[in-house]
A and B are shown apart, each in its own frame.
Chain A
């Protein structure tokens, strides 16, 4: 397959994740959609690595996976803390950063 097919696919995955971040109200699902966007990016990186023939893109994608894992840890920790403090698990209720 031509590389461009993979890139188009990664664009679609990325945009589906972005739409999900905006539409959904449950922070858990929003985190999942963030994972989608990161994966889209990963796919694009690996496609370009294949195109150039160098493995720098794959290393990059590996590091992105590490980052995604860390982010998930912290995000879920926040959600658990929200739950423990009896807050509503709904991002529309978290408006303390209002100006």
Chain B
């Protein structure tokens, strides 16, 4: 048991750290990498919850494919370092406050709840719980409609991506990247 608890705390700390890194790191590239750390620690947490297939999917699909896509785009676009402090609009001060308020509310709800099963480790499950075979049989039997709908969604997304990436007529040459002077401009304005 102690192994599980230690793993939980380590993974939780990594997840929280990754999340905070996503939000607070200036360079978008670093944010992406931070998210990858977060996703992998979340995969560990999934393993702790007996969701083996999902943990694997998380690592392979999420941290693997989606994040690689992100890195491609960040490399293409450039992603300037964003200035943090000079933005003294109200939103930037109050946003975190409201988020914290919601966190407090949710915690109150969870901890003060009358649900007894929340204080247990959960129901007794067999060894096959969370295995690919069980997930697969459920997908094709009980949850067939969401499965098919999700496939439609993927099709739509693929079509949308193609449409968005299509080059319009008349735009023969590739537009040049935004000049670096713009970035310094913004920096100066907000200095």
| Bound form: Cα–Cα A26–B157 in Å | 23
Interface size bracket, A side: 35 or more
Number of B interface residues, CB 8 Å? 88
Q: A32-B70, A33-B22, A77-B165 are in contact. Are A66 and B123 (CB under 8 A)?
A: no
Verify A22–B157 contact, CB threshold 8 A.
no
Verify B54–A61 contact, CB threshold 8 A.
yes
Give the B-binding residues of A (Cβ under 8 A): 1-9, 11-20, 22-26, 28-29, 31-33, 35-36, 39, 42-43, 46-47, 49-53, 55-56, 58-59, 61-63, 65-74, 76-81, 83-86, 88-90
Verify B69–A7 contact, CB threshold 8 A.
no
| Bound form: Cα–Cα A72–B61 in Å | 12
Find B57's partner among A5, A62, A90 (CB 8 Å cutoff): A62
Q: Which residues of A contact B77 (CB under 8 A)?
A: 28, 79-80, 83, 89
Verify A29–B31 contact, CB threshold 8 A.
yes
Verify A16–B23 contact, CB threshold 8 A.
yes
Verify B45–A16 contact, CB threshold 8 A.
no
Verify B143–A23 contact, CB threshold 8 A.
no
Q: A46-B46, A70-B154 are in contact. Are A39 and B106 (CB under 8 A)?
A: no
Q: Chain B's interface: helix, strand, loop or mixed, by majority?
A: helix
Q: Chain A's interface: helix, strand, loop or mixed, by majority?
A: helix
B100 to nearest A CB, angstroms? 7
Q: Which residues of B contact A55 (CB under 8 A)?
A: 129-130, 134-135, 138
Q: Which residues of A contact B103 (CB under 8 A)?
A: 11-12, 14-15
Q: Is B66 an interface residue (CB 8 A)?
A: yes
B131 to nearest A CB, angstroms? 10
Q: Which residues of A contact B49 (CB under 8 A)?
A: 6, 46-47, 49-50
Find B48's partner among A1, A28, A69, A83 (CB 8 Å cutoff): A1
| Chain A residue at minimal CB-CB distance from B155 | A70
| Chain B residue at minimal CB-CB distance from A13 | B19
